[in-house]
Amino acid sequence: MGMLAGRTAVIIGAGVGIGQQIAIAMAESGARILVNNSGISPSEEGVDPAAAEKVVQEITAMGGEAFASTDAATSWEGTEKIVAAAVDHFGRIDILVNSSGIRSDSPCFEISGEQWHRVLEAHLKAAFLCTRLTAKLMRKQKQGRIIHLVSASGLIGDKGCINYSTANMAIVGLSRNVAIEMKYSNVTSNCIVPVKAERAQHSIPANVAPLAVFLAGESSKNISGQIFSVRGKEISLFSQPRIARSIHHSQGWPVDRLAKILIPSLKAHFTPMETAESYFSWDPMD
């Protein structure tokens, strides 16, 4: 009996990459899996409408239980069909993994409206719609695990991908608020940040999957509202926005006083203007 035996997992974007490996790992741990994939890979290349069914075949070949869904997680109707299908097949939803998304990169001064909306829909809208419906079920069940895959481009920043970075940072806020709202229903919500490392790029999905399984299990019931990253064999916990330092003046802050005091008082605590790539400058530990 695996640590997820008897549980049902809905995995959005499970036809390829990290989502696929999470689906297989959770099935190996005993979970019944709804494998959702709309047929588009994260790179928008290699479109394969049968991707979800191939993952189902892999899971059933090893003795697991799974079925495929190709409904779009970016629409209200599609999300309702995904959730209804999982409930019809398995009677409940215990785990939701939001791992879908696409990229269409441009800097802020060149990005088109279509690029902006398409990427935000694939990431943020899909995560919200899937979370909204499954949270209702989990609240009634008094139990559930929600896991969001997000990018370091959103948490730290990057060049040329303002739509992608914005969507991912918004999902962090979504996850945090869901964690707070669902606390007394025994439903957790956490983020995982897969980080590329030159010597370990091929192992990213395999390294992320065990953490996802752990966060979906009973041992993680008291972990919620957190952000973990996986880089090679490293697992890290991200800090979250909190006040770093304050300044106060009994007579308030006219502009000339701010000009004299703000920078000397706060500059040492400013967040550096780093990109995700420059921040992770060290090799991952073997």
Distance, CA of 61 to CA of 57 (rounded, Å): 6
Given 90, 164, 228, 280, which residue is catalytic? 164
Active site residue 279: no
Q: Which residues are catalytic?
A: 164
